[in-house]
Amino acid sequence: MKTSLTKEKGGLRCRHLSLGQLAEAMRNGGRTARRIRGLRRAVAKYGRNVNYPSAEKLHSFYPAVELMRASDGTLQRIRYNGIVAVEIRTGNLDRGILLKGKVAKIPEVLLCCISADGQGLIVLVRVSRRDGSLPRKDEEIRSFHRLAHAFVADRLADTLSVKVFPLRDDELQHFLLTHDESTYFNPDAKVLVAECLPQRSPTVYKPKPYPTIPATFENHLQEATYRLQKYIDTTYAFRFNRLSGSLEYRCRLTTDAKWKPVTKYLTNDILTDAFMMGMRVRGTQVEQQINTLNLPVFDPVTDYLRRVRGCWDGHTDHIRQLSQAVPTDNPHWPHLFRRWFLAMVAGWLPTNGGSPNAVAPLLVGAQGTGKSTFCRRILPPELSEGYCDWLDFGRKQEVVKALPHYLLVNFDEFNQISRFCQEGFLKTLMQMGRVTGRQAYTQTYAGQRRMASFIATSNLPEVLSDISGSRRFICLNIIREVDRSILNATDYAALYDQALEAIASGERTWFGKEEEAIYTQTNDNFRARSELEERFYECFRIPEATGEGQWFSASDILSTIRARTKAPLRNETTLKLGRFLHFAPGIRFARHKGRSCYYLATR
């Protein structure tokens, strides 16, 4: 069994070497060693696409075939030996040396050496049919070798848990003759018998995930595009994540099943791989192959809720147990948390109809009590990507766009949100059911269902500045540290299955008037009073009996406050006072002689 060495510098030449002789040539080096060292320095400095002139003087190695120089100056195959060469990318020489020790322990490895550029390992494996034979006809050889490549790449990828890169998908694969003093060669290596490869039969099996390239293809760009598409589809799997709104990928040739977002680094990696395989393509062509409408759509929320069905035993109240992790002096908290939790889960369901979860718990306590930890642990680990603890309210359009892509948004340090934001934008944001806007690179407006529910934390007790918007928050006083043992023992599958069962049984997912009255009364203790409100309660009080007070207009009240207080009121107007009096609890309102009047008693 021999292989072929060719050299084009100074005229095409070809000679045959056994694998033992080839391994010895790689170890000795000679003038090849000096050129390989120069090539590796250039690649380490400028990258794999560097044009190194001395590389033209290096021999090329064809492991799978024996070649001869024909009379017309071309190379012709005279024998096929069934050797498959694959490359394992290591990134540098040191990692390649470490990984070579692991590769040498695989009994089927015939030869292993550092590649010419020093960025990977070249591994040779001999593959045969079940009866030990090899194909002889051209069409059978091409089909056999193409499948043998995929078989060896998958085998090494599973064994080593690394990315394995086929050099070419035909029997004429070759690479530069390298120099490696520690080249591994095992003449007694086992022949890898591929059960899935075509055996001797009247008809040769041909896998057809894609049609073969027609002979009429004379346009090299079309051929390169076809090969690029085939390489991408056999090496990577892609999907569209509906929650994050981004493309994700995973490599088929490794055991790592984790999906990762598609970035420019992946595009550049594919482009480099294509270049090393001889495909002259551009980055735009790679992006066109990835960004298509045929990608499968993955919804992590729907997938998770489908998998948890049937996990609840029908008796244990996991929602109440989770609420008890928050130590508070509010006895209504377990009931209010259940209603809010059901509203959050119902907002994720396609059958929700766009009804938003417009109420948010607001945890108030000292720093270090675990408020943010509790908020983060509400979502299961499988949906942790749907948690957000910071939004830039200065960029309102970006905040609105985030609502369909997050499941739980934590307004951390709620006391830092300005009064104007609380009274305007924040109130609108919390009651928004659908997000309508123009997507990037489109001319039409489309609506997206809001997925996000809200929760908030604060270290200061006086956090609510909008008297009319206090019904949007359930304020809680955290009296000690959050019980982390309850959080650690949470059975998320049963927790969310219980919520789904409650929603399916018709349990209410919105807050009624009685429940609003409970937490809005408590919220009055967490409201930050303005200077005008403080002065108002210094001068007026709510009458306890009829006939004790009298009717005052807003301008009369403001004049009385200014007359009875020594310090001047800054930027306070009748409109602001009237708005406060309209929403203040317990104050009677009526129209007298075309004016809005309020029934009050002076102090």
Architecture of domain 303-526: 3-Layer(aba) Sandwich (3.40)
Is domain 531-602 annotated with CATH 3.90.550? no
Contact 115, 173 (CB under 8 A): no
Q: How far is CA 583 from the centre of its chain?
A: 45
The answer to whether 406 and 357 are in contact (CB under 8 A) is no
Give phi and psi for 3, each to the nearest 5: -125, 175
pLDDT higher than 90, residue 56 = no
Mean local confidence (pLDDT), 252-274: 81
Closest CA to 473 of 360, 583, 585: 360
Angle formed by the axes of helices 93-103 and 138-160, nearest 10°: 100
3-class state of residue 597 by DSSP: strand
Q: How far is CA 310 from CA 95, 350, 357, in A?
A: 48, 20, 25
- pLDDT surpassing 70 at residue 123: yes
Is the pLDDT score of 592 beyond 70?
yes
78 in helix, strand or coil?
strand
Is the pLDDT at 265 greater than 70? The verdict is yes
Q: Within a 10 A sphere around the Cβ of 56, how many other Cβ atoms? A: 11
Band (pLDDT 50/70/90 cuts) for residue 567 is low
Helix ranges (H only) for 78-175 are 93-103, 138-160
- The reported pLDDT for the residue numbered 169 is 55
Taking residues 259-281, report their average pLDDT.
81
Range in 479-488, 536-545, 558-567 with the lowest mean pLDDT: 558-567
- According to the model, what pLDDT value does residue 429 have? 80
Task: Give all strands of the β-sheet with 387-388 in edge-to-edge order.
Answer: 387-388, 408-411, 453-458, 360-364, 473-477
- Helix or strand holding residue 583 (H, E): helix 574-583
Cβ-contact 153, 164 below 8 angstroms: yes
Residue bearing tokens 């322990």: 105
Q: Which has the closest alpha carbon to 371: 414, 402, 338, 321?
A: 414
The predicted-structure confidence for 421-437, as pLDDT tens digits, reads as follows 666 677 778 887 777 76
In the numeric block, the tokens 């590769």 are attached to 103
For 131-150, letters b (16+ CB in 10 Å) and e give eeebbeeeebbbbbbbbbbb
User: CA-CA distance, 602 to 550, in Å (whole number)?
Assistant: 9
Query: Is 213 a residue whose pLDDT tops 50?
Result: no
Q: DSSP state, 403? A: G
List, in sequence order, the alpha helices (H) in 111-253.
138-160, 220-235
Q: Whole-prediction pTM value?
A: 0.57
* pLDDT tens-digit series, residues 496-526: 999 999 998 989 888 888 888 888 888 877 8
Q: What pLDDT is attached to residue 500?
A: 92
d(CA 440, CA 172): 45
User: Would you say 349 and 503 are in contact if contact means Cβ atoms under 8 Å apart?
Assistant: yes
pLDDT number for residue 35: 84
Query: Residue with structure tokens 């062509």?
Result: 285
Question: Is 50 exceeded by the pLDDT of residue 214?
Answer: no
Q: What is the length of the chain? A: 603
pLDDT at 467 over 80: no
Residue 230 pLDDT level (bands cut at 50, 70, 90):
confident
Locate the domains of the chain by residue range.
2-193, 220-298, 303-526, 531-602
Query: How confident is the model over 125-147, as a mean pLDDT?
Result: 82
Question: What is the spatial distance between Cα 167 and Cα 84, in angstroms, rounded to a whole number?
Answer: 9
Per-residue pLDDT tens over the stretch 179-196: 888 889 998 888 887 654
**Neighbour tally for 574: CB within 10 Å:** 15
What pLDDT was estimated at residue 201? 37
pLDDT level of residue 158 (50, 70, 90 thresholds)? confident
Q: What is the pLDDT of residues 284-295, one digit of tens each?
A: 778 877 877 677
Per-residue pLDDT averaged across 552-578, rounded?
A: 73
* 465 or 169: which leads in pLDDT: 465
Comparing 88-97, 257-266, 452-461, 581-590, which segment has the lowest mean pLDDT? 581-590
Pairing of strands 246-251, 434-438: unpaired
User: ∠ CA(535), CA(536), CA(539), 5° rounding?
Assistant: 90
Spatial contact of 423 and 465, defined as CB atoms under 8 Å apart: yes
- Is pLDDT at 264 greater than 80 in this prediction? yes
The 3-class SS string of 288-332 reads HHHCCCCCCEECHHHHHHHHCCCCCCCCCCHHHHHHCCCCECCCC
pLDDT of 167 strictly over 70? no
Q: What is the pLDDT of residues 65-83, one digit of tens each?
A: 888 777 776 777 788 888 8
Give me the percent of the chain exceeding a pLDDT of 90. 12
Q: How far is CA 395 from the centre of its chain?
A: 23
State the pairing for strand pair 387-388/408-411.
parallel
The strand pairing partners of 111, in sequence order, are 124, 185
Residue 322 has pLDDT above 90, yes or no: yes
Lowest mean pLDDT among 51-60, 157-166, 190-199, 219-228: 190-199
Q: Reply yes or no on whether the pLDDT at 96 is more than 80.
A: yes
Q: Pairing state of beta strands 236-241 and 13-18? A: unpaired
pLDDT score of 317: 93
Cα–Cα distance between 582 and 214 in angstroms, integer? Answer: 80
Q: Does 531-602 match 303-526 at the fold level? A: no
pLDDT for 198 beyond 80? no
- d(C-alpha 480, C-alpha 512), whole Å: 30
Nearest in space to 453 (alpha carbons), one of 433, 423, 482: 433
CA dist., res. 227 & res. 219, Å (int):
13
Burial readout 434-467 (b: 16 or more C-beta within 10 A, e: otherwise): ebeeeeeeeeeeeeebbbbbbbbbbbeeebbbbb
Lowest-confidence range among 132-146, 193-207, 489-503? Answer: 193-207
Residue range 166-188: mean pLDDT, rounded: 77
Mean pLDDT computed over 474-503: 91
Residue-wise pLDDT for 337-366, tens only, equals 999 999 999 988 887 655 788 888 999 988
Give the pLDDT of residue 210: 44
Mean pLDDT of the chain: 79
594 pLDDT higher than 80: no
Give the whole-angstrom CA distance, residue 138 versus residue 161: 34
Question: Which stretch of 232-246, 402-416, 586-600 has the lowest confidence by average pLDDT?
Answer: 586-600
* Comparison of pLDDT for 446 and 403, the residue scoring more: 403
**pLDDT value of position 433:** 75
